[in-house]
Structure 1
Amino acid sequence: MQLSLSGAKMAGVSGLRSIMDDVASSTSGTSADEWLNLSVGNPAPIPEAREMWRDALANALAGDFGQVSCRYGPSRGSHVLLETIVDYFRRTYGWSIGPENIVVGPGSQMLCFAAATIFAGPGAQGDRRVVLPMVPDYTGYQGLCMHDGGVVGVPPLVQREGDHRFRYALDHERLRQQSDIGMLLISSPGNPTSRSLSREDLDGLTAEAEKRNIPLVLDHAYGAPFPRIAEVHVEPVLHDNVINCFSASKAGLPGERIGFAIGSPRYMDTLAAFMSNSVLHAPQLAQAGLSRALRGGRLDHVTRTFITPYYSKKKRFAEQLLSELMPSDINWRMHSGVGGMFCWIWVDHDWFDDIVLYGRLKDRRVFVVPGRHFFVDPLSTPGPEGHGTRCFRISLSAEEKVIAEGIQRIAVVLREMRDAASADR
């Protein structure tokens, strides 16, 4: 079979997707209790969130099915949902927007893919790239461009904090040195680290986008106004060079693939055309359900009362376990996020390798995610030596007993890796 260059790029399996396939094949035909899956990116099964979406979709099915599921709809999004979003953001943030500022898509990742296709790649003035202002960042971004070298990550400044903490900071100077930028793309709060942009960081990125006359795409999949999985310091901003992407996935509805973007009409018109030319429009029953959850205020209530507290509690639980169980004589550090859905761990030893850890934990029926998949070029990432292959991610979506047993096994495997390295010397 002969593939085009774009076909070959898009037909390849990403590193993280191969891990997910490995999880699926390894656990098939076995009891779920036999494995401790700390790699999963699914949102936690919070009962109140599930009930909200079940009610919203059931009401949409009962009241709107004939109008939304039995006919095609507008590529920009259904009129009802667009008007609901306009009203919601006017009330929540005071934004002066209209339907021309919005595009609804089948998930925010599809909207990011559309933006990358529109604003990056070969063009009349040469190749332009998607630049991630700070890696590590969401691994799915690395598959957004249909040509090699189309995504570039800017390494962070690594700041150690105390004995077992560290923090990434944006390297604005290194970002300013990047050339041929077609668009900037960053998640905030971030996956995998849970770090949130500060107001200073956001202002700096916005100024850089404005100076170059390019879009800054802000992915709020974990942030404000929903699901607020982290203690968000900076709310979304409305700016001519900013495309804000929002998603219902981490608020408990990942399977229905529904998200939307808000930005300048000059960007939104091109995104709407992309939707028309590719997928026609987002699923309309899901649009009707999202509209109902937003319009009645229930999504805000569930976010504030159940989703945000749930993840805050799980993060404190995991932090306490790591402090108690991880070997004190191993230089491990957890990223100082502000809440979040994950713990991001750095083991700063030359004997540590994230893929080796993954394999040894798999032998003990534990899954984590090797950190290298969140770096665009992990083997040559500047900063502390080997940093791009000395990190791993654990999820907080699992039950507390799974997290507790998983961290215990991680600690055991780290001791084994350390002792094996000492014996080889």
Structure 2
Amino acid sequence: MASLSGLRLIMEDIATTTGSAGGKEWLNLGIGNPAAIPEVMDTWHRLTAEALVAGFGDVSCKYGPSRGLPELVETIADYFNRHYGWGVGPRNIVVGPGSQMLCFIAAALFTGAGATRDTRLVLPLTPDYTGYQGLSLTTDGIKGVEPLLGLQGERSFRYLFDLHALERLEDVGLLLLSSPSNPAGRCASQDEIRRLISAAEGHDVPLVVDNAYGAPFPGIGGPSMKPVWDERVINVFSVSKAGLPGERLGFAVAAEQYIDPIVSFLSNSVLHAPQLVQSALAQALGSDVLDTLVASVIGPHYAERRKYVEALLAATLPPDISWHLHAADGGMFCWVWIDEDWFDDLSLYESLKRRGVFVVPGRYFFTDAEHSRSLGRHPRQCFRISITSDRHTIARGVEVIAAGLRDMRAGSATR
């Protein structure tokens, strides 16, 4: 925790480089921020202003309960009962300062040194969100299960769960995955979630499903992303990708045996999540304003942008280079695999940086990219492109990426 993870080093490099380059124009396709959609920003502005007027003294000038504002906790319970028939109550819910903090708390509670054995946080399908690799306080406390690769036509591929490898692990304390995933945009199907629940039962551990890009909001994915209730599952949700990344607000819904210790952890550490934005979220959920935004604005925006970027990549990347795009179900990124011996993700990153373009090297989304047992060089042959920038920035950036790939190939031929 006292040092930056690989991707955070890249993000720091991007911030430092762009901040010290004078008037140079940069095309940042590595950004993780959600798109700045005017209708979404205006709605949150209005809801926050209303919360400020209605209850500033009560929610911002007083301490509150560690579980979350009662009005929000009750609204969350009602929302999931109405939409999914879950039958949950306030004791099944905890509100925290961001979904990543809730994942960290789960890792701290359910993994690490134990009375009988030491356990690890296990990612059932890598690549997955690189922030997970900073959740453990112990060395080698995180293990990623490498995927199976499935080619789909000439330019598409898909990661598949290796459930047999997951079941064979012996030191599991917690399973954690994002769905849709960051970076590949893969949604775990209902059947796959059920099989992961079975694996969690076999190891007698909880399964955390991070729905930061999924249902009910921001809803950037396909029909398979409906959250699943199970006594073994901790479902985590975030407001970030629905338009409020800077406010750091998320919540978890699970059985009391998992929620109660998380509430205690929050009480012992940060006391509670910021409360003004909790009040705004309660209004957004209770009035179905957020559902309307997802259905009419957020979902269509990302669906259109993904279609545009995928078509742009197909038309622009060199056809005589073996490249493949992950068949995404959702999320905010495109994940590209360059299946060539001469390609290296960090070399591409440095080359593009010199040309004023940023992407994210793929190796940081795998837990052990340098020593892959089954994937070979694949973890170092991928990179992530954000689809949240404007069309002009993306189009110019992809042109530079295509030129960079041609130059890398030409350079390898002369060595």
* TM-score class normalised by the smaller sequence: over 0.9
The partner residue of 1:116 within 79, 99, 107 is 107
Alignment partner, residue 225 of structure 1: 216
- The offset of 1:138, in angstroms, is 0.1
The CA distance in 2 between the partners of 1:187 and 1:232, in whole Å, is 16
What do the CA deviations read for 1:290-337 (whole angstroms, capped 9, x no partner)?
111111111000011010111111111011111111111100000001
- The CA distance in 2 between the partners of 1:205 and 1:182, in whole Å, is 14
The question of 1:145 aligning with 2:136 is answered: yes
Deviates more, 1:379-388 or 1:90-99: 379-388
**Partner residue of 1:3?**
none
Q: In the TM superposition, what is the alpha-carbon distance from 1:33 to its structure 2 partner?
A: 7.2
The residue type equivalent to 2:128 in the other structure is D
Quote the residue 2:382 is aligned against. Answer: 391
The range that moved more, 28-37 or 290-299, is: 28-37
Q: Which amino acid aligns with 1:410?
A: I
Compute the displacement of 1:31 (Å): 6.7
3-state SS of 2:8 partner: helix
Normalised to the residue count of structure 2, the TM-score between the two structures is 0.98
Residue 75 of structure 2: which of 81, 84, 95 is its match?
84
| Cα separation, 1, equivalents of 2:389 and 2:19 | 18
> How far, CA to CA, are the matches of 2:263 and 2:78 in structure 1?
20
SS in 1 for 2:224: coil
Report the Cα distance in structure 1 between the residues aligned to 2:18 and 2:180, rounded to whole angstroms: 30
Contact 1:131 1:151 in 2 (8 A): yes
Give the counterpart of 1:297 among 284, 288, 291: 288
The aligned residue for residue 336 of structure 2 is: 345
Matched, 1:260 2:251: yes
How many Å separate the matches in 1 of 2:376 and 2:138?
A: 29
Aligned mate of 1:334, from 307, 320, 325: 325
Alignment of 1:175-254 (within 5 A): 175-254=166-245
Does 1:164 pair with 2:155? yes
Aligned-partner SS, 1:34? coil
Deviating 4+ runs (over 6 angstroms)? none
- 2-structure distance, mates of 1:151, 1:53: 36
* Letter of the 1:24 counterpart: A
Letter of the 1:81 counterpart: L
- Indicate whether 1:51 and 2:37 are aligned: no
1:405 paired to 2:396: yes
Q: Distance in 1 between matches of 2:297 and 2:353?
A: 32
Whole-angstrom CA distance in 2 between matches of 1:177 and 1:410: 40
Identity of aligned residues (%): 51
1:381 aligns with 2:372: yes
Give the alignment's TM-score, normalised by structure 1.
0.96
**Amino acid across the alignment from 2:181:** G
* Cα distance in 2 for residues equivalent to 1:347 and 1:200: 30
**Is residue 264 of structure 2 the alignment partner of residue 273 of structure 1?**
yes
> Deviations along 1:74-105, whole A, 9 cap, x unmatched?
00111000011011111110110100000000
Which residue identity does 1:167 align to in structure 2?
R
Q: Give the superposition deviation at 1:394.
A: 0.4
* Residues 212, 240 of structure 2: 8 Å contact kept: yes
User: Separation in 1 of the partners of 2:279 and 2:211?
Assistant: 21
Partner of 1:23: 14
CA distance in 2, matches of 1:82, 1:32: 47
Query: How many pairs are equivalent?
Result: 415
Match of 1:6 in 2: none
> What amino acid is the match of 1:209?
A
1:240-278, Cα deviation, whole Å (9 max, x unpaired)? 100000000000100000000000000000000000011
SS of equivalent residue, structure 1 residue 62: helix
Q: CA deviation at 1:16?
A: 0.7
Q: Would you say the 8 A contact 1:189–1:232 is kept in 2?
A: no
1:296 and 1:403 map into 2 onto residues whose CA distance is 36
Letter in 1 for 2:187: S
User: Equivalents in 2 of 1:381, 1:252: separation in Å?
Assistant: 36
Partner SS for 1:345: strand
| Residue equivalent to 1:129 | 120
Determine if contact 1:186/1:218 at 8 Å carries over to the other structure: yes
Q: Which runs of 5+ in 1 are unaligned?
A: 1-9
**Residue identity opposite 1:407 in structure 2:** V
Q: State the distance in 2 between where 1:339 and 1:247 align.
A: 16
- Equivalent residue in structure 2 for 1:312, among 303, 315, 323: 303
1:325 — aligned with what? 316
Q: Which amino acid aligns with 2:2?
A: A
- The one-character-per-residue Cα deviations of 1:101-150 (angstroms, maximum 9, x if unpaired) are 00000000000000000000011012100000000000000000001111
TM-superposed deviation, 1:189: 0.3
